[in-house]
């Protein structure tokens, strides 16, 4: 049998453990536990499916050593023996699937708030986190000792539950990291100040873990290679810390970076080059006598394989890639790379949903993520013939799901190619990764042998000829034309036409609408040399995008000298060379406008809906044709609709 990616798929050693390959699923919060901290069957199935996908080790997400240190509302608990039976079930499921079962011990310190914990956050020093902004209470020596013991007791429970390894969360600005860093630790006692004092808490925690488990029980330390904040830990100091962790008995170092508020996000986004933190893992490996795990945006098998081959790290973590495709490992090992549903680092379903919305883990185009137990992908008994109208992401997701459930599918797309609005999304600056959504779905349409009718407008006659059992309409949306005098002038164009390249404005351009589409259009035109004035009725722009992507988008827009942004502005009239608007201070005019670009939203393309309904065939309307919204909403609705057929 041909061995694909031989470096990646060789066995690896961590302490006394042997991993079947060099791939690790890193700890990522799911918010799937019960509110009291108990593991749920939904959570177990989520991890089990990724272990079954072939990964070498699964590190279960942050598990709280103390209820006052929770970072998310439904965080796994390790602060009481009552959690052991559920955790044992989780560890057993992971190991039965062939993966090493690990769990991460965690305390948020100042990076939480009282709405989650019910009490004031605690930290080495009373310095608020720049993101959470709630001033923590400084820990006393007695409380520090209790927390050291809490980590030890949590490790004992994980050990008793059957986990093969525990990982200490010493990065991303949480409690252990807070003690290590001069950025967050301003103490003047034995736990603060000089390097040795800042190390004390971490080393005592490692010792407590060993005393409560076994001397040879494997321990991972997830550490910062760089905090990316002024006054924080840098790589050279991190190297010295790594040596001390190893001397204390740590068996593997898991190297990440950043804290809440770091300018460089510890969860890279679209536009960030692949493996942006690899140099940090490589730096730690240069001084390490134990294995090192590299992490962050390593989504391609060839890249992961080369990291191992070149000795830059001993293991590679695939995080969001495994949320997106639990079978990433198996597909890579079998050389079926085109079958992989590639993570596009949009952060919509995972990071933003978890931290900004307090929702459970999900993925923009893996609608089963976090819901594997609820939606087992099995075939139905009563198989149907299904017609789907619309070949955008929603239509293709419906087609894919329906075929996997055993139905026969005919998909109509009026354009000559599949992709819909996803083609526009991938054509804007720093978002070419969105093209992976189109690539994957197109590949799936071929792999699953969906009957495609491209360049064909579906109507009642064509649909009835196929005699389907049901029709799913996913015709999407079209740009909205606002009720503004002058909106029909020849110098007024739609943002979608600009993005697609249908029209090419030049000179001074007014963009009406400061949502995501308007912002991306402004950035695109600025790159092409235009001078941009953006008008937005609200006081803020890009409010329709998640915080992780919004942060980097706003930074680019605000620092672009070709883009001027006017908020709180209602456009009243479009003239030949000017825009009339009303702000709080009254009516104004902006002169010298060559082209006006409309980016004021969209409206459903629903012309065919009533025509198809009139046939008497059962109809399901999904996605933007039902109500324009985010891609994640349309795709998830498509999945649920097709699954229920």
CA–CA gap between residue 122 and residue 112 (Å, rounded): 9
Assign 34 to helix, strand or coil: coil
Assign 642 to helix, strand or coil: helix
Please give the torsion angle defined by the CA atoms of residues 15, 16, 17 and 23, in that order, rounded to the nearest 10 degrees.
20
Q: Which long-range contacts link 330-334 to residues 24+ away (Cβ below 8 Å)?
A: 330/53, 330/54, 332/4, 332/5, 332/8, 332/301, 332/304, 333/4, 333/5, 333/9, 333/21, 333/54, 334/4
Assign 222 to helix, strand or coil: strand
Cβ proximity of 77 and 43 under 8 Å: no
* Residue indicated by tokens 């041909």: 2
CA–CA gap between residue 245 and residue 242 (Å, rounded): 5
Q: Provide the pairing of β-strand 122-123 with 100-106.
A: unpaired
Has 174 been annotated as catalytic?
Answer: yes
Cβ proximity of 42 and 30 under 8 Å: no
Q: Which of 46, 47, 159, 174 is catalytic?
A: 174
For 37-69, the DSSP string reads: S---HHHHHHHHHHHHTT-SEEEEEEEESSGGG
List b or e across 408-422, with b for residues whose CB sees 16 or more CB atoms inside 10 angstroms.
bbbbbbbeeebbbbb
Cα distances (angstroms) measured from residue 262 to each of 123, 228, 381? 18, 6, 52
For 511-536, the DSSP string reads: EE--SHHHHHHHHHHHHTT-EEEEEE
What residues are annotated to the active site?
Answer: 174
């Amino acid at each position: 049998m041909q061995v694909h990616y031989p470096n990646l798929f060789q066995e690896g050693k961590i302490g006394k453990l042997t991993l079947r390959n060099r791939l690790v699923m890193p700890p990522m919060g799911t918010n799937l536990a019960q509110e009291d901290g108990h593991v749920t069957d939904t959570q177990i199935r989520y991890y089990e499916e990724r272990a079954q996908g072939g990964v070498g080790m699964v590190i279960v997400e942050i598990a709280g050593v103390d209820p006052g240190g929770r970072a998310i509302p439904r965080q796994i608990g390790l602060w009481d023996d009552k959690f052991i039976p559920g955790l044992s079930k989780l560890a057993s499921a992971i190991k039965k699937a062939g993966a090493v079962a690990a769990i991460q011990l965690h305390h948020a310190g100042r990076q939480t708030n009282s709405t989650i914990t019910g009490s004031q956050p605690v930290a080495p020093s009373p310095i608020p986190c720049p993101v959470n902004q709630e001033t923590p209470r400084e820990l006393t020596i007695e409380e520090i000792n209790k927390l050291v013991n809490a980590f030890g007791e949590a490790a004992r429970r994980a050990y008793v539950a059957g986990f093969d390894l525990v990982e200490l969360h010493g990065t991303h600005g949480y409690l252990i990291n807070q003690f290590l860093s001069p950025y967050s630790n301003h103490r003047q006692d034995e736990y603060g100040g000089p390097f040795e004092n800042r190390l004390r808490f971490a080393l005592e925690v490692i010792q407590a873990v060993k005393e409560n488990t076994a001397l040879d029980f494997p321990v991972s330390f997830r550490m910062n290679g760089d905090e990316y904040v002024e006054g924080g830990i840098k790589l050279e100091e991190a190297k010295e810390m790594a040596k001390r962790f190893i001397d204390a008995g740590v068996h593997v170092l898991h190297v990440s970076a950043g804290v809440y508020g770091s300018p460089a996000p510890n969860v890279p986004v679209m536009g960030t080059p692949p493996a942006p933190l690899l140099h940090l893992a490589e730096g730690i490996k240069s001084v390490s006598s134990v294995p090192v795990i590299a992490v962050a945006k390593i989504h391609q098998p060839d890249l992961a394989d080369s990291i191992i081959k070149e000795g830059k790290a001993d293991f590679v973590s695939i995080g969001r890639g495994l949320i997106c495709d639990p079978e990433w490992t198996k597909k890579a090992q079998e050389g079926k790379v085109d079958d992989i549903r590639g993570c596009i680092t949009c952060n919509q379903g995972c990071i933003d949903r978890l931290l900004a919305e307090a929702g459970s883990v999900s993925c923009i185009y893996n609608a089963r993520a976090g819901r594997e137990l609820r939606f087992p992908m099995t075939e139905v008994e009563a198989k149907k013939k299904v017609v789907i109208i619309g070949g955008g992401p929603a239509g293709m997701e419906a087609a894919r799901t329906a075929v996997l459930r055993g139905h026969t599918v005919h998909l109509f797309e009026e354009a000559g190619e599949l992709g819909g609005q996803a083609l526009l999304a991938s054509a804007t600056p720093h978002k070419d990764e969105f093209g992976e959504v189109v690539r994957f779905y197109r590949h799936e349409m071929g792999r699953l042998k969906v009957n495609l009718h491209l360049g064909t407008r579906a109507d009642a006659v064509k649909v009835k000829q196929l005699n389907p059992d049901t029709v799913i309409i996913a015709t999407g949306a079209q740009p909205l034309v606002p009720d503004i005098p002058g909106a029909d002038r020849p110098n007024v164009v739609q943002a979608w036409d600009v993005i697609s390249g249908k029209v090419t404005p030049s000179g001074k351009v007014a963009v009406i609408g400061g949502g995501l589409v308007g912002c991306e259009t402004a950035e695109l035109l600025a790159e092409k040399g235009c001078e941009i004035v953006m008008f937005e009725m609200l006081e803020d722009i890009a409010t329709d995008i998640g915080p992780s992507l919004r942060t980097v988008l706003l930074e680019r827009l605000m620092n672009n000298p070709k883009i001027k942004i006017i908020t709180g502005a209602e456009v009243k009239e479009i003239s030949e060379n000017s825009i009339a608007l009303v702000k709080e201070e009254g009516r104004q005019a902006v002169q010298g406008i060559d082209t006006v670009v409309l980016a004021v939203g969209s409206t459903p393309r629903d012309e065919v809906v009533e025509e198809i309904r009139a046939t008497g065939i059962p109809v399901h309307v999904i996605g933007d044709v039902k109500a324009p919204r985010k891609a994640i909403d349309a795709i998830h609705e498509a999945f649920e609709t097709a699954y229920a057929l």
